[in-house]
Amino acid sequence: MIYAEFNCHYDLFMYYSSCHGLFISILFFQAYERGLMIAIIPFTSKILEPCQSSIAYRPPNPWTMGILSLLVEIYNLPNLKMNLKFDIEVLFKNLSVDMKDVKPSSLLKDRIRQIEGNPDFSNKDVSASQAPVVAEVSSGVMPTINHVEPQPEINSTSRATSLPNMLSQYAAPLRLPTNNMVEDDKSALIMPEQVSSLGLSQVSPSQTPSLSSSSFSLSQLIAAIPRADIYFRINEKLSSFGSLQYSKIMDMALDKAIKEIIGPVIQRSVTIASRTTKELILKDYAMEADDSAVSRSAHLMVGTLAGSLAHVTSKEPLRVALSSHLRSLIQGITNNTESTEQIMLILVNDNLDLGCALIETVATRKVGLYSLPLY
């Protein structure tokens, strides 16, 4: 029963995967060109391993065999690293398929791959026709060079880095020169932090700077309180900690207001800035051979434009939203409509620019995550 259930779920998974077969092919093409097969091949092996137990997808299923053909083509590439060859051999063995019986595909012939710094290929010439038995013997003869134990470690490393690399693949589908490989990896590693940072920028900055700004506006609130004190002596107790309460109210209102308007503002600003940057950068750098210079200028420009547009277009909507939230929150602690409006206006005028600056920061960071379609 458990086995049958597992098999059913696996078939569903594979069915969905096969509907996106082109997707996996594209994965391989990009991996081949950019030196990322060290991630894709173990990934594919893990997906295909259970095919043996699947009624629908075990060989000679056309979809499965198509991928195996591609793997054979990869296996026969000159100077392919031993760990990748090993992964492919293990997969074929697990599927009980003889590599010789599978006709290799010819999908990679027209594609140009990076050579310098490519982790998928070794510089020294290793014979592809080496027999498995001979390989084992060699491993025994020269343990310091072909030690079997490091291989699991390599696989573990490749699995650990596969996610950032794959994210990098989609976040930056630019074709970068080989000398930027390190920079690209660095960008990939930064990606998760950026995502987290984006989340934080919507929450944390609206609290910390808000408190700071509220502290700044405390003196003005104190100036406003005596008026309320004059009208409502009952509030003498409230006025002693009213400042803190206003800080909390300001914090809550600003957070709600920003969340309310930030979506459309960011989307519009980023869209316009990306379009403008694309047209102008392609024009100005038409003769530029250094892709990193192009990319650097593009990101600097698009961030500045998106941030500026977001700031200027968010001001009025934010004022309206902030006023609305402040009004309802202040009404909760005071019955006087006039003082509510006055307190609200003071809080809005003192903190509106802060809110816009937060949105500008989000826009500038947000646009950095988008891939500019420069090519």
Partner 1 sequence: MANLQPSLSIPPSFAGASPPSPSPIGGGGVGGGVGQPAKDMKMASAEQLVLDLCDPELRENALLELSKKREIFQDLAPLLWHSFGTVAALLQEIVSIYSALSPPTLSPGASNRVCNALALLQCVASHPETRILFLTAHIPLYLYPFLNTTSKTRPFEYLRLTSLGVIGALVKVDDTEVISFLLQTEIIPLCLRTMEMGSELSKTVATFIVQKILLDDVGLRYICATAERFFAVGSVLANMVVSLAEQPSTRLLKHIIRCYLRLSDNSRACAALQTCLPDMLKDGTFNNCLRDDPTTRRWLQQLLLNVTGAGMGAAPQPGLDHMMGI
State in angstroms the smallest separation of the CB of 55 from partner 1.
54
Q: Which is nearer to partner 1, 248 or 268 (CB)?
A: 268
Min separation Cβ 275 and partner 1, Å = 5
| Helix, strand, coil fractions of the chain, as percent rounded to 5 | 80, 0, 20
Q: Which is nearer to partner 1, 58 or 315 (CB)?
A: 315
Please, what is the minimum distance in Å from the beta carbon of residue 52 to partner 1? Answer: 55
**To the nearest whole angstrom, how small is the minimum distance from the Cβ of residue 357 to partner 1?**
10
Judged by CB, which is closer to partner 1: 48, or 281? 281
- DSSP assignment of 275-291, as one string? HHHHHHHHHHTTT---H
The torsion defined by the Cα of 35, 38, 43 and 46, in degrees rounded to 10, comes to 150
Name the burial class of residue 116, with classes exposed (0-12), middle (13-18) and buried (19+) by CB atoms within 10 angstroms of its CB: exposed
Non-local CB neighbours of 83 within 8 Å, separated by 6+ positions: 38, 151, 154, 155, 158
Nearer to partner 1, 305 or 330 (CB): 305
With respect to partner 1, which residue has the nearer C-beta, 94 or 308?
308
Residues that bind partner 1 (CB under 8 A): 272, 275-276, 279-280, 283-284, 301, 304-305, 308-309, 311-313, 315-316
Minimum CB separation of residue 312 from partner 1 in Å reads: 4
Dihedral angle over CA of 165, 170, 171, 174, nearest 10: 100
How far, in Å, CA of 301 to CA of 35, rounded? 30
Residues 6+ apart with CB under 8 A from 256: 321, 325
Place of tokens 């960071």: 365
The residue among 256 and 315 lying less far from partner 1, judged by its C-beta, is: 315
What residues have CB less than 8 Å from 328, skipping those under 6 apart? none
Q: How far is the CB of 183 from partner 1 (least distance, A)?
A: 24
